[in-house]
Amino acid sequence: MATANTPEFNQVLYKPLAEIDPEVKNIIDKETWRQFTGLELIASENLTSQAAMEANGSILTNKYSEGLPGARYYGGNEYIDELEVLCRKRALQAFNLDPAKWGVNVQPYSGSTANFAALTALIQPQDRLMGLGLPDGGHLTHGYYTAKKKMTASSIYFQSFPYGISPDSNLIDYDGLASQAKIFKPKLIICGASAYPRDWDYARLKQIAEKEGAYLMADIAHTSGLIAAGELNNAFDYCDVVTTTTHKTLRGPRAGLIFFRTDLENAKDLEKRVNEAVFPACQGGPHNNTIAAIATALLQVSQPSWRAYAKQVIANAKALGEALVAKGYKLQTNGTDNHLVLWDLRPIGLTGSKVEKVCDLMGITINKNAVSGDSSAQVPGGIRLGTSALTSRNMKEDDIRVVAEFLHRAVQLSLLLQKEAGTKLLKDFVRVATTPEEGKEGYSKVKELRDEVRAFASKWPLPGVDVSTLKQPEGLVAH
Ligand SMILES: *Cc1c(COP(=O)(O)O)cnc(C)c1O
């Protein structure tokens, strides 16, 4: 609290956000309301815990601690050291790793920076790497370029070459990867994806990497929570380095982790390279408030209840997939092994953008996504749906079937809107969805469905928020 002696220039330090900055407070309130009244189906998102948010919003944000525990550039780090050592221990425990065989760096700010640091540690500038192509479900940070341009640091500073999924099965084309790797001779093969509904054959990947003398790195950003629970194949059994985000299925704050083997030849060297790649090569001072939040999220992952959560996420994704297939829709690979499904909208003549837009209007958050064989990356033919966040709001299979019904109606409504728009243009589509017009019923159907979605979504709790006292804030965007 400010005292009588607090100078005027410091009085702001003691005032709550609502008082000092109602504008930002109102934006947070609107976003809280959106999360409460909507259905979050973006596969990369989740709802972190009250504890993680508390740690993330803590006073630890004040401290500089460049370096590693016991070897910092600044003083006053005795508790930060304790925190980082605890976080590392919990990271190994969460994934059931032997501390004699694995180490971890918990400082990466996010998944992308974790990946770039891992590449910096493992290979030299302009060395060759292979990752799953972006249109096949891979991530930008695994190397992405177009005919005109190298798009991401992983293709600007390294020579990247994509492998893909097989056009028939839509599963990873391991044979294709093996023969491409034989020619391309990568120093590093990256596995892991952002939009791949099936599990990975890490043993096969290891075999391919070994044959070419390449490192094998898994980026388990999307699936780490499910791998920690033992519900998917274990990337750690075969990979040299494993990176992950902490905010997707792992349900922590926004950050990244890099795990590295410590039992290989030159292990000390690898450990040193990873740590030095994170700092000073790619980052500055660690975000200690985030590291505290990661630690508390990882504690939750180590509890027996975590497995039940992960199982429910997968059961929900399967239920969602089955409900859509039962309605006659097409899913890439016809279903899922993990937390996400890829819905191919091309057979019914819709684009991902249109369905994303309609869903947005009714508070169902999803994203357009390329599906196998899309001719244009600009007009993705599908959408990606994930169940991590809805499972964090307590939903089970029966509830997910209600969500599937909403999605079915949203898609049918998109067909009607497309017809009423009169053209295939997105702007005409959006116009008929958002403005009443004589003789057209799409607009009022959007409103009707939106009200139903809101009523359903508002029945569920939202972690970190007391929804019983939540009031609708001012200034919401009217759809
Ligand atoms: C989300 C994701 C990332 C990037 O994480 P950010 O925290 O957004 O930087 C990296 N790799 C994969 C596979 C991802 O899905």
Taking only the tens place, the pLDDT of each residue in 87-121 is 999 999 999 999 999 999 999 999 999 999 999 99
**417 Cα: distance to centroid of ligand 1 (angstroms):** 34
**247 Cα: distance to centroid of ligand 1 (angstroms):** 9
Residues with CB under 6 A from ligand 1: 44, 110-112, 115, 139, 141, 192-194, 219, 221-222, 245
Q: Which residue has the tokens 């299925």?
A: 249
State the closest ligand 1 atom to the C-alpha of 222, by its place in the atom list counted from 1. Answer: 15
Question: How crowded is residue 20: how many other Cβ atoms within 10 Å of its Cβ?
Answer: 13
Q: Is the pLDDT of residue 262 over 70?
A: yes
Q: Coil, strand, or helix at residue 88?
A: helix
Confidence of residue 146 (pLDDT cuts 50, 70, 90): very high
Q: Is the pLDDT of residue 477 over 90?
A: no
**Token couple for 137:** 């479900």
Of 314, 282, 296, give the one whose Cα is nearest residue 253: 296
Q: Which residue has the tokens 């501390």?
A: 99
**196 Cα: distance to centroid of ligand 1 (angstroms):** 13
Of 292, 366, 307, 259, give the one whose Cα is nearest residue 38: 366
State the closest ligand 1 atom to the C-alpha of 220, by its place in the atom list counted from 1. Answer: 13
What DSSP assignment string belongs to 235-256? GGGT-SEEEEESSSTT-S-S-E
* Residue 216 to residue 238: CA distance in whole angstroms: 8
Flag whether the pTM goes above 0.95: yes
Residues 177/208, Cβ–Cβ less than 8 Å: yes
Residues 383/352, Cβ–Cβ less than 8 Å: yes
Confidence of residue 282 (pLDDT cuts 50, 70, 90): very high
**CA diameter of the chain:** 75
Query: Which residue of 116, 134, 140, 141 sits with most ligand 1 atoms within 8 Å of its CB, as the best mutation to test the pocket?
Result: 141
Which residue CA neighbors atom 5 of ligand 1 most closely?
Answer: 111
State the closest ligand 1 atom to the C-alpha of 247, by its place in the atom list counted from 1. Answer: 7
For the question of residue 450 being annotated catalytic, the response is no
Question: What is the predicted pLDDT for the residue at 84?
Answer: 98
Question: What is the predicted pLDDT for the residue at 479?
Answer: 61
Residues 324/331, Cβ–Cβ less than 8 Å: yes
**245 Cα: distance to centroid of ligand 1 (angstroms):** 6
**Token couple for 461:** 């709790």
* Tens digits of residue pLDDT in 343-380: 999 999 999 999 999 999 999 999 999 998 887 767 89
Check 21, 45, 54, 66 and give the catalytic one. 66
Kindly list the structural domains of the chain, giving each domain's residue range(s) and its CATH number in brackets, ordered by start: 59-302 (3.40.640.10), 312-460 (3.90.1150.10)
CB proximity list for 326: less than 8 A, separation 6 or greater: none
**258 Cα: distance to centroid of ligand 1 (angstroms):** 13
Distance spanning both ends of the chain, measured CA to CA: 42
Which residue CA neighbors atom 10 of ligand 1 most closely?
Answer: 111
Confidence of residue 401 (pLDDT cuts 50, 70, 90): very high
For the question of residue 245 being annotated catalytic, the response is yes
Task: Fill in the amino acid letter for 152.
Answer: T
Least confident span in 180-194, 245-259, 392-406, 417-431: 417-431
Residues 354/367, Cβ–Cβ less than 8 Å: no
Strand (E) or helix (H) holding 368: strand 367-369
Of 114, 51, 98, give the one whose Cα is nearest residue 295: 51
Of 363, 370, 362, give the one whose Cα is nearest residue 342: 370
Across residues 178-184, what is the average pLDDT?
98
Check 113, 223, 243, 245 and give the catalytic one. 245
Q: Is the pLDDT of residue 452 over 80?
A: yes
**Token couple for 248:** 């997707």
Across residues 457-473, what is the average pLDDT?
96
DSSP 167: T
Across residues 381-400, what is the average pLDDT?
98
Q: Is the pLDDT of residue 155 over 80?
A: yes
Check 64, 145, 157, 174 and give the catalytic one. 64
* Tens digits of residue pLDDT in 9-24: 999 999 999 999 999 9
DSSP 279: I
State the closest ligand 1 atom to the C-alpha of 194, by its place in the atom list counted from 1. Answer: 15
**Token couple for 100:** 């004699």
**Beta strands at 364-365 and 340-344: parallel, antiparallel or unpaired:** unpaired
Question: How crowded is residue 311: how many other Cβ atoms within 10 Å of its Cβ?
Answer: 15
Residues 198/171, Cβ–Cβ less than 8 Å: yes
Q: Is the pLDDT of residue 478 over 80?
A: no
State the closest ligand 1 atom to the C-alpha of 138, by its place in the atom list counted from 1. Answer: 13
Q: Coil, strand, or helix at residue 461?
A: coil
Strand (E) or helix (H) holding 374: none
Residue percentage of the chain with pLDDT more than 70 = 99
Check 29, 136, 212, 219 and give the catalytic one. 219
* Cα of 337 vs its chain's centroid, Å: 17
Of 357, 385, 383, give the one whose Cα is nearest residue 446: 357
**215 Cα: distance to centroid of ligand 1 (angstroms):** 20
State the closest ligand 1 atom to the C-alpha of 111, by its place in the atom list counted from 1. Answer: 5
**13 Cα: distance to centroid of ligand 1 (angstroms):** 35
Phi-psi region of 127 (alpha: psi -120 to 50; beta: other; left: phi over 0): beta
For the question of residue 64 being annotated catalytic, the response is yes
CB proximity list for 81: less than 8 A, separation 6 or greater: 65, 69, 70, 72
Number of residues in the chain: 479
The answer to whether the bond into 280 is cis (omega within 30° of 0) is yes
DSSP 274: H
